[in-house]
Structure 1
Amino acid sequence: MTADILSQLPLFATDQQLAVAIVGKDRASMWVKAVIPQLERKGFPRIDPLHDGRPVPLVRRFYEGYFGITAGFNVAAPDGKEDWSVWNRRRRVKNAGDA
């Protein structure tokens, strides 16, 4: 069994197929009834009427955004060289005001 079960689904999958892939067979019925309506309000891909299923690549992209995977590591990237003298000056001024 592969770790990426979504890649084994057809391009357009039914809610039941997605549910089994995402939460497993035992919880699939609950997920279809209770969770999908909540996720749709947050942008979960809708059923494509022509293909009678949800587009799996968009479901994957939804979850990448949902878990913050698409943000990448640039969010925490340094913004430049630190100027410690500014920090020390502010601290000295604050301490001088305390005295």
Structure 2
Amino acid sequence: MAEDLLSTLPLFATDQQLAVAIVGKVRASMWVKAVIPQLEKKGFPRIDPLHDGRPVPLVRRFYEGYFGITAGFNAAAPDGKENLGMWKSRRRVRKASDE
């Protein structure tokens, strides 16, 4: 199993530290510039101004929710608008031969 690099970070980590831990050194710069702004729109923890970093436990919790880990195995993403009208029951017509 791969080493959990998030657990090696300080309580508040910089974007660069998080990037290296999450996607590796090679892709870290791209992730900081392109991915973090997109993730912030989905609830990725913001930088805490007092500590000048993002809270690592909340980053971990964000990813657990992002991947559905905290929801369990029964969770499923919606696949579109429900059309309950299509499930109306039809009466079965009985034939004399059925009785």
The TM-score bracket by the shorter chain reads 0.7 to 0.9
Structure 1 stretches of at least 4 aligned residues deviating more than 4 Å after TM superposition: none
Q: TM-score, normalised by structure 2?
A: 0.73
TM-score of the pair, normalised by structure 1: 0.73
Provide the rounded CA distance (Å) in 2 between the counterparts of 1:2 and 1:66.
Answer: 20
How many positions carry a matched residue from both structures?
A: 82
User: Following the alignment from structure 1 to structure 2, what is the Cα–Cα distance between the partners of residues 16 and 44?
Assistant: 15
Displacement of 1:75 after TM fit? 4.2
Q: Name the structure with the higher helix share.
A: 1
Tell me the percent identity.
87
5+ long unaligned stretches in structure 2: 77-88, 95-99
- The corresponding residue for 1:13 is 13
Partner-residue secondary structure (3-state), 2:18? helix
> Which structure 1 residue ranges, 5 or more long, are not aligned?
77-89
Q: Which residue is equivalent to 2:23?
A: 23
Calculate the aligned-residue CA RMSD, in Å.
2.3
